[in-house]
């Protein structure tokens, strides 16, 4: 690249003038992309997505492979560049080129128009394959000794603009949205998959199309004796879902569910005696009170009765009854509600990571499938960041067992803290690091500042993943 040797002096400092010159070697502010590439080499999620993208281009005229383009797009998302437009000035970034296997000195990455064409090559069939590929790759990543699997289901509103396909007004979320479905591993927070849906889709739309194959795949590809618990809020309380989960329980065994249930006059009347007890406790204590119970209930559209767990709660604001439908027998109602069902509240935090930390709700394409592909790309970035954070946690456990020096303890503490932070904080602390980049015949040399506070963590993690 042509260097600009213009010098500028500014005089605001009371002791010394400040001279400015742009003549140093190439510098990247996103050196942490090296760690993301190491994570990708370990889990191979970008490679799998690239292999599912149709490519009708003339092989003799291809400059940027699908693999390179997916690397570029996903790494940029993970590094905080969610817009395609960012590619126009990042395509010459030396570290980003290096992690995408592009020549650091002479090559260039894809421009925004090239990436836009990439996103619009995906139609409904490859999109469905990618969604299922995410499911299967999650299953393959599970510890082989793990027998308890919790699947948390939720939906979210992704705001659209203009005449984008399948936008519709969502009263619950407000505004014109798409309404995707997201599934998470309830034990770890790993994103299992994201399903693009139109804005007019109800909460439970398409869930039965996915939950059956998912549970079947768990029993076939993970282990036959695993138990599966499905959790969701009352928006997913549909007889079709209950019946499917009951049928899966008959086929595979150990398939349970805890799903929020909306109030009606019948279940409210069955909870009334517990509500009276809670009101009396609240009156005596002057504070909120809870009483839990369970009972059998069958709506007119159900083929059989099911267990309803009721929470009779009275707060300073008044009565607050809540219900959960389940197929668990002989379970403590309080334990089932407070530990089992309420555990799904973390799903909102994980959706916040996907939408806030990685801008997963950035739907800027006109076509529905193109926006669905964008959701997949952001899900892949989620997988990379999640894997990096999990690796930090694993290194903290290993260091705790082997390091006894003060320096080793400091490194352990840093790894442990980084393993608990949000994606946004992890990016700022470990990935947004500046490197001077030099290229020789035999190597690419990255030189960071000696004052970088996470240099020891960066070295340790890079070596451990090498």
Does 162 share its domain with 270? yes
Query: Is 302 domain-assigned?
Result: yes
**Co-location of 238 and 320 in the same domain:** yes
- Residues 112 and 241 reside in one and the same domain: no
Residue 362: pLDDT band with limits 50, 70, 90: very high
Q: Are residues 204 and 333 in the same domain?
A: yes
Percent pLDDT > 70 in the chain is 99
Per the domain annotation, does 381 fall within a domain?
Answer: yes
Choosing from 333, 357, 381, the residue where a domain stops is 357
For residues 249-256, average pLDDT: 94
Q: What is the 3-state secondary structure (H, E, C) of the chain?
A: CCCCCCEEEECCCCCCCEEEECCCCCEECCCCHHHHHHHHHHHCHHHHHHCCCCCCCCHHHCCCCHHHHHHHHHHHHHCCCCCHHHHHHHCCCHHHHHHCCCCCCCCCCCCHHHHHHHHCCCCHHHHHHHHHHHHHHHHHHCCCCCCEEEEEEEECCEECCCCCCCCEECCCCCCEEECCEEEEECCCCCEEEEECCCCCCCCCCCHHHHHHHHHHHHHHHHCCCCEEEEEECHHHCCHHHHHHHHHHHHHHCCEEEEEEECCCHHHHHHHHHHHHHHHHHHHHHCCCEEEEEEEEECCCCCCCCEEEEEEEEEECCEECCEEEEECCCCCCHHHHHHHHHHHHHHHHHHHHHHHHHCCCCCCCCCCHHHHHHHHHHHHHHHHHHHHHHHHHHHHHHHHHHHCCCHHHHHHHHHHHHHCCCCHHHHHHHHHCCCEEEEECCCCEEEEECCCCCCHHHHHHHHHHHC
Identify the domain boundary among 330, 357, 384.
Answer: 357
The answer to whether residues 180 and 237 belong to one domain is yes
Taking only the tens place, the pLDDT of each residue in 133-148 is 999 999 999 999 999 9
**pLDDT grade, residue 26 (50/70/90)?**
confident
Mean per-residue pLDDT for 71-92?
A: 95
- Residues 346 and 384 occupy one common structural domain: no
What integer pLDDT is reported at residue 313 of this predicted model?
95
Number of domains in the chain: 2
184/298 same-domain check: yes
Residue 1 pLDDT class (50, 70, 90 cuts): very low
Q: pLDDT tens-digit profile of 42-79? A: 999 999 999 999 999 999 999 999 999 999 999 999 99
Average pLDDT over residues 435-447: 91
Q: Could you tell me if 159 and 279 lie in one domain?
A: yes
Same domain, 336 and 403: no
What percent of the chain lies above the pLDDT cut of 90? 85
Would you state the pLDDT for residue 346? 94
For residue 460, is pLDDT > 60? yes
Q: Residue 362: inside a domain, yes or no?
A: no
Is the domain of 455 the same as that of 309? no
363 in a structural domain: no
Instruction: Assess whether 245 and 155 both reside in one domain.
Output: yes
Between residues 264 and 1, the one the model is more confident about = 264
pLDDT at 6: 83
Residue 191 within a domain = yes
The mean pLDDT value of the chain amounts to 93
Whether 428 maps to a domain, the answer reads yes
Q: Is residue 47 part of a domain?
A: yes
Quote the pLDDT of residue 21: 83
**Which of 357, 388, 416 delimits the end of a domain?**
357
Please tell me the predicted confidence (pLDDT) of residue 405. Answer: 80
- If one compares 9 and 111, the residue with the highest pLDDT of the two is 111
Domain assignment of residue 2, yes or no: no
Identify the domain containing residue 343 by its residue range. 124-357
264-295: per-residue pLDDT in tens? 999 999 999 999 999 999 999 989 999 999 99
The CATH code of the domain that includes 188 is: 3.90.350
Q: What is the tens place of the pLDDT at every residue in 288-346?
A: 999 999 999 999 888 899 999 999 999 988 999 999 999 998 889 999 999 999 999 99
Q: Are residues 328 and 449 in the same domain?
A: no
């Amino acid at each position: 690249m042509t260097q600009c040797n213009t010098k500028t002096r500014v005089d605001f400092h009371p002791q010394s003038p400040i001279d400015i010159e742009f003549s140093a070697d190439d510098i990247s502010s996103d050196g942490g992309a090296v760690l993301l590439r190491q994570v990708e080499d370990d889990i191979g999620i970008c490679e799998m997505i690239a292999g599912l993208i149709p490519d009708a281009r003339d092989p003799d005229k291809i400059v940027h492979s699908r693999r390179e383009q997916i690397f570029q797009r996903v790494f940029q998302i993970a590094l905080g560049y969610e817009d395609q437009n960012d590619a126009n000035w990042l395509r010459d970034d030396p570290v980003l080129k290096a992690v995408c296997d592009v020549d650091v000195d002479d090559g260039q990455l894809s421009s925004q128009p090239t990436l836009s064409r990439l996103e619009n090559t995906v139609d409904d069939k490859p999109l469905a394959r990618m969604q299922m590929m995410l499911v299967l790759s999650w299953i393959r990543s599970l510890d082989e000794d793990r027998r308890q699997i919790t699947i948390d289901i939720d939906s979210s509103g992704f705001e659209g603009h203009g005449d984008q396909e399948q936008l519709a007004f969502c009263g619950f979320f407000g505004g014109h949205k798409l309404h995707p479905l997201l599934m998470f591993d309830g034990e770890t927070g790993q994103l299992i998959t994201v399903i693009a849906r139109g804005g007019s889709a109800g909460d439970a739309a398409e869930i039965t199309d996915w939950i059956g194959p998912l549970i079947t795949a768990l029993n076939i590809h993970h282990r036959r004796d695993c138990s599966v618990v499905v959790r969701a809020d009352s928006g997913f309380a549909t007889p079709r879902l209950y019946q499917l989960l009951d049928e899966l329980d008959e086929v595979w065994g150990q398939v349970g569910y805890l799903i929020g249930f909306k109030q009606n006059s019948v279940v409210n009347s069955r909870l009334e005696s517990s509500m009276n007890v809670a009101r009396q406790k609240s009156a005596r204590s002057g504070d909120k009170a809870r009483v839990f119970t369970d009972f059998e209930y069958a709506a007119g559209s159900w083929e059989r009765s099911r267990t309803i767990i009721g929470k009779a709660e009275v707060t300073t604001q008044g009565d607050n009854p809540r219900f959960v439908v389940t197929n668990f027998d002989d379970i403590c109602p309080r334990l089932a509600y407070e530990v089992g069902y309420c555990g799904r509240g973390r799903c909102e935090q994980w959706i916040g990571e996907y939408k806030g930390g990685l801008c997963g709700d950035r739907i800027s394409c006109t076509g529905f499938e193109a926006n669905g592909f964008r959701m997949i790309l952001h899900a892949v970035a989620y997988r990379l960041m999640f894997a990096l954070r999990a690796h930090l946690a694993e290194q903290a456990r290993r260091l705790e067992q082997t390091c006894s020096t003060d320096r080793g303890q400091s490194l352990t503490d840093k790894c442990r803290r980084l393993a608990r932070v949000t994606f946004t904080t992890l990016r700022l602390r470990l990935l947004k690091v500046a490197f001077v980049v030099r290229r020789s015949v035999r190597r690419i040399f990255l030189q960071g500042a000696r004052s970088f506070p996470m240099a020891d963590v960066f070295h340790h993690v890079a070596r451990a993943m090498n």
